[in-house]
Structure 1
Amino acid sequence: MTTTAAPLLAAGLRVSPGVPLPYGATATPEGINFSIPAGGASSMTLVLYWRGAPEPFAEVVFPRDCRVGGVYSMLVSGLDPEAIEYGYRADGPFAPGRGLRFDARTVLADPYARAFGGRETWGAPYSLDPYPYRSRVVAGEAFDWQGDTPPRTPVEDLVVYELHVRGFTRHPSSGVRRPGTFAGLAEKIPHLLDLGVNCVELLPVFEFDESDNARSSEGRRLFNYWGYNTFGHFAPKASYAASDDAATELKDTVRRLHAAGIEVVLDVVFNHTAEGDERGRTLSFRGLDNPGFYLLAPDGSYLNFSGTGNTFNANSPVGRAFVLDCLRYWVAEFHIDGFRFDLASALVRGQDGAPLADPPLLEAIAADPVLRDTKLIAEAWDAGGLYQVGSFPHYGRWSEWNGRFRDSARRFLQGDHQAAQDLGARVLGSLDLYGRRGPRASVNFVTCHDGFTLHDLYAYNDKHNHANGEDNLDGERANHSWNCGVEGPTDDPEVLRLRSRQVRNALVLLLASRGVPMLTAGDEFGRSQQGNNNAYCHDVLSWIDWGLAADNAELLRFTRALTAFRRTHPALRSPDARGLATTPVDGVPLLQWTLRLGDDAVHVAANAHWETHTVPLPDLTGHLAWHAFADTAAPEPLAPVRPPEPGRVMLPPRSVQVLYAAPFDPSGDPHDT
């Protein structure tokens, strides 16, 4: 072990004061600049490993002249960035009751590291305990963006598509050359374009440990598949790359998506970290500045508003600076277009855990000049019971996942007439929730990664999570799902027809409403998770079976037609459109709404009842007439549908019809397309 400069000189290494910024390890012509903030530490040691070696080849204590304030920075010459891995030992008081957990025995990962060692193969065992999270130095050449220009699609014109990078193309049926990777995602751009998607929202792609799940079930290994346990916020996940350079591959994928007019939003996890509570492993944050990075109770224990054991101290100066540095990095270096913040309401909490009226972090993100053009989307609740849909501190910038749209749409399609009135407000853009922000603040969805797929929503009444190894106790209980008469798979043609109709109904509610629609990958052709509504731990079960695109070609065609219809009709997208919703029959789950912008008008009539109902159509000006676009109950849902008489439309049970205004043709049927 080497702890002074003299032996290092003999080894061909030289140490001199570094520069405090940027944090992390930066390769320069003079050497590698190591900079790590740890304000409460009494000393800091750099630990150097050869790549893959179990023991360090050198440990260097930062000299006194290598500290500026609470930042330790040191330039080390004579190192090959491609040959080493590194970590830190932070010394200081260990007093958990006061929130201090320094322990020089533990080698800490660099939270600013841009890569980590040994993570290239998904699920591969990593045996370099007790310090498996080895930071690496990234010294690659500048990426050629080839004149990349982000699409900067207006928020109201977005059609968002949520996907898991690995699961999207890992199934053999995907037909891509590099399955389960960033490059594989790029190979599926033609599908995204055909579907009418112009924004992909990627489940976590920052480095996480998929093996961080001790459970097994039915002899099968379980994973932390979704990735909501980030340990490397500046490092793209190495096992999501087909090459040995994850950063370059992700940048190339972003560039290709942009060239196709598709924006990239990242699902980011700042509400908690992978360290858990006091029983968890110390990886980095806890050993560098525990009270700066975490919300702590007076006795030093961890406040848990995330459901994972800890809550990130997002509004402390230390926590706020970390998040801002991270977001700026991904926008500047990777040209990312926006971020969806997991359990974002945890980010409004102050040091004592109470919600803040003006959270410094959210205001800083909204006002940051580097982030000026990025989309900001909040999952406006947390696991501590704070539900802020419609009241999330937005500073004129933030949109929200609209959980009320999801719940009202599902309840209505179950046949709940009491949900119709609330759904009426949702389909018009939830102006009762978002006021001056308008419908652009509402990200509407019926399904997402968390919960039933759209197929399973109408194939199961109950969750079937036994394979998760938690005795089916995990996962949401209130799914507002309906199996249409049979639980799970069936050959009954009537049940299958009804299920297909319900799926189409849900898609119409989503894509013919004001607000920003979000589809979940695979729902466009009937992906199933066999009734599992919490598939966070399943690798194979969560892969998308692309063979379903052929098996359910009519559903795929219907979804494509809906997104195309949305693009064609500005009344569905424009913040200036006027809307009116009615529930024409009391006590019956019926809902109609009309959206108008000049001569463009769209009318949707939805019947979630088990009986047929005839409802009136709104009047149009003299030169316009209603034309049929879709009828979810028709044998061919996209074939023209003729209303039974002028000014009225007959709605079969469990069906939705979509009509649009077009010039009246006196030589033909005014209701015919």
Structure 2
Amino acid sequence: MVPSFLPSLPQMQPFLPSELLLIFKWVAAAGNDFQARSRVKHRTANVYGRQARERVLEEEASEMAEATPSFKIFPGQAFPLGASEVDNGINFAIFSQHATAVTLCLSLPQRGELDMLAGGMIEFSLDPNLNKTGDIWHICIEDLPRSNVLYGYRIDGPKDWDKGHRFDSNNILIDPYAKLVEGRRNFGDAKHKLSKFLGTYDFDSLPFDWGEDYKLPNIPERDLVVYEMNVRAFTADESSCLDQDIRGTYAGLIEKIPHLLELGINAVELLPVFEFDEFEFQRRPNPRDHMINTWGYSTINFFAPMSRYGSGGGGAVSASREFKEMVKALHGAGIEVILDVVYNHTNEADDKHPYTTSFRGIDNKVVYYMVDLNNEGQLLNFSGCGNTFNCNHPVVMELILDSLRNWVVEYHIDGFRFDLASVLCRGTDGSPLGAPPLIRAIAKDATLSRCKIIAEPWDCGGLYLVGSFPNWDRWAEWNGKYRDDLRRFIKGDPGMKGAFATRVSGSADLYRKNKRKPYHSVNFVIAHDGFTLRDLVSYNFKHNEANGEGGNDGSNDNFSWNCGFEGETDNVDIIALRFRQMKNFHLALMGVPMMLMGDEYGHTRYGNNNSYGHDTALNNFRWQQLNARKSDHFRFFSEVIHYRQKHRVFSHENFLDRSDVTWHEDNWDNPDSKFLAFTLHDKGGGEIYLAFNAHDFFVKVSIPPAPPKRRWFRVVDTNLASPDDFVGEGVPGIGSTYNVAPYSSILLEAK
């Protein structure tokens, strides 16, 4: 049963005389079971009017004294951190190097009408002489319920702001090691937008049944086709035709797995699913106070699945189980699950507008955040979000490793994409490290050895590490240069042919030098931030006015082209050119490709390239638009993906040499040349010819002779209307030349 103070914790009020009388009676009844050094407070929620509350408390005082549980208290143990079940009860342990006082706060399950104090917190003050080992505070409590208990900590310490301390014992803080977090029950429930968050645990439920026939997909890295997606936005729209209570949930995603299979991808990369507060922008007046965080890049806790992505408002325990059901279903379909994880910063903002929920109040200085002691202890900001997590501090490093292991062991996750991963390459003072301990530890960790580990190899402090990210032969990277070079070539920028050739052939210039493989480059043109694929070919400029920041947010370097008109248009020629360009981009995704949810039907955000705060159709997958384009745009995208997976020539174990590719080009140095053709050779005998024309005129190209006893078949011509733009079995009759249309591409297969 859910404690009645959810979805919000009330403010603590001064005790009335009648309340004190009740508490004295309760303590007298229970005191023999407490250690002498433990101090217990049970404070009352301000959920009734004072007169009504006083009257009820007086009438029920004797009954409450009998009904309130008593506990046996033990010093507890330092490990494991978090809440754990031990032989003599529930053990709580938390690290704080600089704390001078720690108080454990508990809220128990309701006990019917007698629980007139429901909504308050029982508080246990920890004695540093008994309940502390080194820098870890701990306590064990016997006879606590094994589930449905909410808990947090009050922590006090030095008030030296200029030395980096941010202690405030008025805050009840979330345990960094809480495996589950409770808050409001339904995503975007504005009635409870100021609700608090607390940790919880569940030692009652049976272990999750993964099934006798269950197995991990274990897809080789070179064969991945990644689909970046947002759990909520995927099915939140009414057009998903799902029941209301499962739209925007883990269960909703399960229902749409057939779409993923039809599309042909074999890995989903989920935007953050760690617990976050979607109402973080609405806690104070600011230009963004109309926004709801729908992307989730603002972590509250690194262990707990986002509870409001569970269906039916079931809360943390239910959401955790539903998350496992989703992973199991995706794995059953042969689809891996990669999580986009945010360890570079948290939700606690900057020092100007602090929002303390956990780390800041537990031990801000040195341990959890990077601070500038030369600037009055202000937080360093390499994340662009007001704070920077101190990832290479030994305690924080172990927290991150424990978090990752938890997701692999408990939830069977297949890999991780690390947001702004260059932050993880900085020392405790913010300086770049040549061999970051955390990056090495992740690469060498036994539990994580089967996982894909992918870096976004830059941060907001200018540490750009594309191609040079410390890797220990394990780390892959989002290849930002692939994105930029393809965008510039396909739209017709001069002098980009050589860079385009380098990218589509594996980016050897970036990865061969440090002994990595072509599949360590995750190749993409579009990701969650920036333009969608349709907007990339529809807008020259960002249009972020709806974000409330005067258009100052979002990147200005989009390398986009609107094809002759800014925004939506009824011009059929411009519309046709835009869809042709989208197909060109899709065909040029080779190696390990990643696409964005919605690009398969041409989703538009109307030029907003930073739509993180819009829980609307701006971000939601529009299923009616998908259905309208099933026969043309979606068909092309799906067919290309399936074709790529059937032909290993598109993914290589090693970098290409002369036996792998023939470049039909003798004009590399001409910056005005925007045409490139090449043949990929499969050592098994297959050959694929591709040509990309970024000119605004036709190019008549000479087709090389087909291999002996074979002839060329046309599979793709992006200039042709559906279904002729992709013909899987191929169209014969290709002569010695081919007229490649302006802004189009072709693919021929030798059969």
- Counterpart Cα distance in 1 of 2:288 and 2:549: 14
- Counterpart Cα distance in 2 of 1:219 and 1:135: 28
Partner residue in 2 for 1:134:
198
Partner residue in 2 for 1:561:
639
2:608 is aligned, of 518, 526, 532, to 532
1:420 is aligned, of 494, 497, 520, to 497
- Counterpart Cα distance in 1 of 2:703 and 2:472: 40
Partner residue in 2 for 1:326:
403
2:538 is aligned, of 430, 437, 459, to 459
Question: Do structure 1's residue 547 and structure 2's residue 624 form an aligned pair?
Answer: yes
Partner residue in 2 for 1:239:
308
- Counterpart Cα distance in 1 of 2:79 and 2:258: 42
TM-score by length of 2: 0.84
Question: Do structure 1's residue 73 and structure 2's residue 138 form an aligned pair?
Answer: yes
What is the Cα deviation at residue 50 of structure 1? 4.1
Partner residue in 2 for 1:281:
355
- Counterpart Cα distance in 2 of 1:582 and 1:316: 52
1:253 is aligned, of 305, 314, 326, to 326
Whether contact under 8 Å (1:46, 1:62) holds in the other structure is no
- Counterpart Cα distance in 2 of 1:44 and 1:190: 50
Partner residue in 2 for 1:174:
240
Whether contact under 8 Å (2:79, 2:93) holds in the other structure is yes
1:607 is aligned, of 693, 714, 728, to 693
Partner residue in 2 for 1:97:
162
TM-score by length of 1: 0.93
Q: Which runs of 5+ in 2 are unaligned?
A: 1-22, 41-64, 111-117
- Counterpart Cα distance in 1 of 2:338 and 2:493: 34
- Residue 255 to residue 171, structure 1, CA distance change in 2 (3 Å): same
What is the Cα deviation at residue 143 of structure 1? 0.7
- Residue 230 to residue 219, structure 1, CA distance change in 2 (3 Å): closer
- Counterpart Cα distance in 2 of 1:544 and 1:91: 46
Note the alpha carbon deviations across 1:279-311, whole angstroms, 9 max, x for none. 312221122222111111123211110001111
- Counterpart Cα distance in 2 of 1:584 and 1:634: 28
What is the Cα deviation at residue 589 of structure 1? 1.1
- Counterpart Cα distance in 1 of 2:444 and 2:270: 24
Partner residue in 2 for 1:314:
391
Higher Cα Rg, which structure: 2
3-state SS, counterpart of residue 581 of structure 2:
helix
Question: Do structure 1's residue 445 and structure 2's residue 524 form an aligned pair?
Answer: yes
What is the Cα deviation at residue 583 of structure 1? 4.9
Partner residue in 1 for 2:735:
645
What is the Cα deviation at residue 620 of structure 1? 4.3
What is the Cα deviation at residue 213 of structure 1? 1.1
Whether contact under 8 Å (2:35, 2:74) holds in the other structure is no
Whether contact under 8 Å (1:117, 1:134) holds in the other structure is yes
What is the Cα deviation at residue 19 of structure 1? 2.7
1:372 is aligned, of 442, 446, 449, to 449
- Residue 126 to residue 50, structure 1, CA distance change in 2 (3 Å): farther
What is the Cα deviation at residue 611 of structure 1? 0.6
Whether contact under 8 Å (1:27, 1:137) holds in the other structure is no
- Counterpart Cα distance in 1 of 2:304 and 2:441: 23
Q: Read off the aligned partner of 2:538 and give its amino acid letter.
A: A
- Which stretch shows the higher mean deviation, 611-620 or 9-18? 9-18
Question: Do structure 1's residue 472 and structure 2's residue 472 form an aligned pair?
Answer: no
Q: Which runs of 5+ in 1 are unaligned?
A: 663-673
What is the Cα deviation at residue 613 of structure 1? 0.6
1:625 is aligned, of 711, 715, 725, to 711
Whether contact under 8 Å (1:420, 1:583) holds in the other structure is no
Partner residue in 2 for 1:222:
291
- Counterpart Cα distance in 1 of 2:665 and 2:187: 51
1:61 is aligned, of 113, 126, 146, to 126
Partner residue in 2 for 1:262:
335
Whether contact under 8 Å (1:344, 1:378) holds in the other structure is yes
Question: Do structure 1's residue 595 and structure 2's residue 677 form an aligned pair?
Answer: no
What is the Cα deviation at residue 81 of structure 1? 4.2
- Residue 581 to residue 24, structure 1, CA distance change in 2 (3 Å): farther
2:743 is aligned, of 654, 657, 662, to 654
- Counterpart Cα distance in 1 of 2:181 and 2:643: 45
What is the Cα deviation at residue 465 of structure 1? 1.0
Q: Read off the aligned partner of 2:186 and give its amino acid letter.
A: T
Note the alpha carbon deviations across 1:353-396, whole angstroms, 9 max, x for none. 11100000000000000000000000000011111110000110
Whether contact under 8 Å (1:428, 1:581) holds in the other structure is no
Q: Read off the aligned partner of 2:301 and give its amino acid letter.
A: G
1:186 is aligned, of 254, 257, 262, to 254
Whether contact under 8 Å (1:118, 1:126) holds in the other structure is no
- Counterpart Cα distance in 2 of 1:34 and 1:593: 63
Note the alpha carbon deviations across 1:417-456, whole angstroms, 9 max, x for none. 3122111100001111010312111101111110111111
Whether contact under 8 Å (1:216, 1:222) holds in the other structure is no
Whether contact under 8 Å (2:288, 2:547) holds in the other structure is no
2:598 is aligned, of 485, 503, 522, to 522
Whether contact under 8 Å (2:547, 2:611) holds in the other structure is yes
What is the Cα deviation at residue 348 of structure 1? 0.2
Note the alpha carbon deviations across 1:454-512, whole angstroms, 9 max, x for none. 111112121111111112221111111111122211111111111110111111011xx
3-state SS, counterpart of residue 232 of structure 1:
coil
What is the Cα deviation at residue 582 of structure 1? 5.4
- Which stretch shows the higher mean deviation, 149-158 or 589-598? 589-598
Q: Read off the aligned partner of 2:496 and give its amino acid letter.
A: A
- Residue 62 to residue 80, structure 1, CA distance change in 2 (3 Å): farther
1:199 is aligned, of 252, 267, 276, to 267
Whether contact under 8 Å (2:703, 2:735) holds in the other structure is no
3-state SS, counterpart of residue 535 of structure 1:
coil
What is the Cα deviation at residue 642 of structure 1? 6.2
- Residue 444 to residue 248, structure 1, CA distance change in 2 (3 Å): same
Whether contact under 8 Å (1:277, 1:302) holds in the other structure is yes
- Counterpart Cα distance in 1 of 2:607 and 2:274: 28
Note the alpha carbon deviations across 1:203-251, whole angstroms, 9 max, x for none. 0000000001138999993111111000111110111011521110001
What is the Cα deviation at residue 12 of structure 1? 1.0
3-state SS, counterpart of residue 481 of structure 2:
helix
- Counterpart Cα distance in 2 of 1:594 and 1:88: 63
Whether contact under 8 Å (1:302, 1:310) holds in the other structure is yes
Partner residue in 2 for 1:665:
none
Q: Read off the aligned partner of 2:202 and give its amino acid letter.
A: V
Question: Do structure 1's residue 575 and structure 2's residue 670 form an aligned pair?
Answer: no
- Counterpart Cα distance in 2 of 1:22 and 1:427: 48
Partner residue in 2 for 1:154:
220
3-state SS, counterpart of residue 501 of structure 1:
helix
Q: Read off the aligned partner of 1:464 and give its amino acid letter.
A: H
Partner residue in 1 for 2:77:
19
Taking only aligned residues, the RMSD between alpha carbons, in angstroms, comes to 2.3
- Residue 619 to residue 293, structure 1, CA distance change in 2 (3 Å): farther
3-state SS, counterpart of residue 423 of structure 1:
helix
Question: Do structure 1's residue 88 and structure 2's residue 153 form an aligned pair?
Answer: yes
- Residue 224 to residue 605, structure 1, CA distance change in 2 (3 Å): same
Question: Do structure 1's residue 354 and structure 2's residue 443 form an aligned pair?
Answer: no
Q: Read off the aligned partner of 1:294 and give its amino acid letter.
A: Y
Whether contact under 8 Å (1:218, 1:467) holds in the other structure is no
